[in-house]
Amino acid sequence: MFRKIIVLGLVSVFTLASISSLMGAEKITVKGSDTMVILAQRWAERYMSKNGNISIQVTGGGSGTGITALINGTTDICNASRPMKQSEIKKLKERFGTLGVEIPCAKDGLTVYLNQSNSVNNLSMQQLKDIYTGKITNWNQVGGKNAKIMLYSRENNSGTYVYFKDNVLKGADYSPSCQNLPGTAAVVNAVAKDVNGIGYGGAAYAKGIKHSKVNGIEPTKENIKNGSYPISRYLYMYLRNKPTGAMKKYIDWILGSEGQAIVNEIGYFPVK
């Protein structure tokens, strides 16, 4: 008798929960990359203005924070400026039984910020690696004045931080003298104030500073789009499951002409 009650109870709850899953409210939460937060907010505002029945809430915090939220089930969409790591996919598999759905939604060039008074205008990939790993410490080693190089970076929960480490530093550790700042805007601000500063981040944020050429190539839209600029990357949205219903409509809109036009407006590059 006891066994029957327990089994019947579990099956009933299973059925009720299944039914409730089909009645989802039209509310979407988006969390993650600070690089993408302006873009995501613009998408959400524009979409909500045309679809009054849907509510989209966007917050930043960094790609790592967004991915953790996706794994913990506290966000529907995670914005990330780097691909998910194997260890993160493993956690998603353990909790939700899925590999996650990766949607490249924009392309971005990672630009190197220099103070406007800096006489250096070009850095090679090797020089960038050596600067950020602490091998090169003075601007005169790369053709500038005799002054200590001040390094500014993002925090380690940032996708930009991880992307730069993987693709420019080739996995090597950042120099201990590197100051990690919360957000690309803070990096831009620090370099704008510090005549000996160097930073990196998305082109969409770069105001009050100058961009360094990398390997002699300027980070122009054309160069990033045609791939000749060496530090470019995709920006991603991650979901736990294949999108359905309101979520699918929103994703389709982002990848459509209207959503991709906003990508251009913000200063990134469309994927289609």
Partner 1 sequence: MRLIKLISILLLISLTFAFKLNAQENEGNKEIEEVKSHVESMDENLTALLGDVAGLKKIKISGYLQINFEKSEASKGFFMNPYDSTDFVQARFRVRRSRIKVAYDAGITQFVVQGDFSNAGFELKDAYLSLTCPWTKAWDFQAGVFNRPNYEVEYSSSQRESMERSLVVRTLYPGERDLGIMATIHPNDWFKLQLAGFNNTFQGTYKQNGPNFNNEPLYFMARLTKEFAFQDLGLGLDLGAHLRYGNVVSNTNKLLESDVATKAAADTVSLKKGDKVGRTWFGFEAQLFYDLFGGMKLMGEYIMGNDVNQLGTAGSKTNGPAIRKRSFNGFYVMLVKNITEEFQFAVKYDSYNPNTKIDASKIDNVNELTVNTLGLGLHNYTFENIRISLWYDMITTKTKTGLIEKDPIDNLLTVRFQYKF
Q: How far is CA 26 from the centre of its chain?
A: 25
Q: Given candidates 52, 146, 171, 257, which one binds partner 1 under the rule CB under 8 A?
A: 171
DSSP state of 219: -
Name which of 35 and 75 has its Cβ closer to partner 1: 75
Task: Report the site for partner 1 in 52-111 (rule: CB under 8 A).
Answer: 72-74, 86, 89, 93-99, 101-102
User: Who's near 98: CB < 8 A, 6+ residues apart?
Assistant: 92, 240, 241
The least distance separating partner 1 from the CB of residue 155, rounded to whole angstroms, comes to 8
Per CB under 8 A, 18 contacts partner 1:
yes
Per CB under 8 A, 173 contacts partner 1:
yes
Total residues binding partner 1 (CB under 8 A) = 35
Name which of 49 and 86 has its Cβ closer to partner 1: 86
Cβ atoms of 40 and 58 within 8 Å: the answer is: yes
Name which of 85 and 145 has its Cβ closer to partner 1: 85
Per CB under 8 A, 126 contacts partner 1:
no
CA end-to-end distance (rounded Å), the chain: 61
The least distance separating partner 1 from the CB of residue 267, rounded to whole angstroms, comes to 28
Per CB under 8 A, 8 contacts partner 1:
no
For residues 211 and 227, give the distance between their C-alpha atoms in angstroms, rounded to a whole number: 17
Task: Report the site for partner 1 in 186-245 (rule: CB under 8 A).
Answer: 240-242
Cβ atoms of 266 and 204 within 8 Å: the answer is: yes
Task: Please give the residue ranges that form the binding site for partner 1 (CB under 8 A).
Answer: 2-3, 6-7, 9-10, 13-14, 17-18, 20-21, 72-74, 86, 89, 93-99, 101-102, 156, 171, 173, 179-181, 240-242
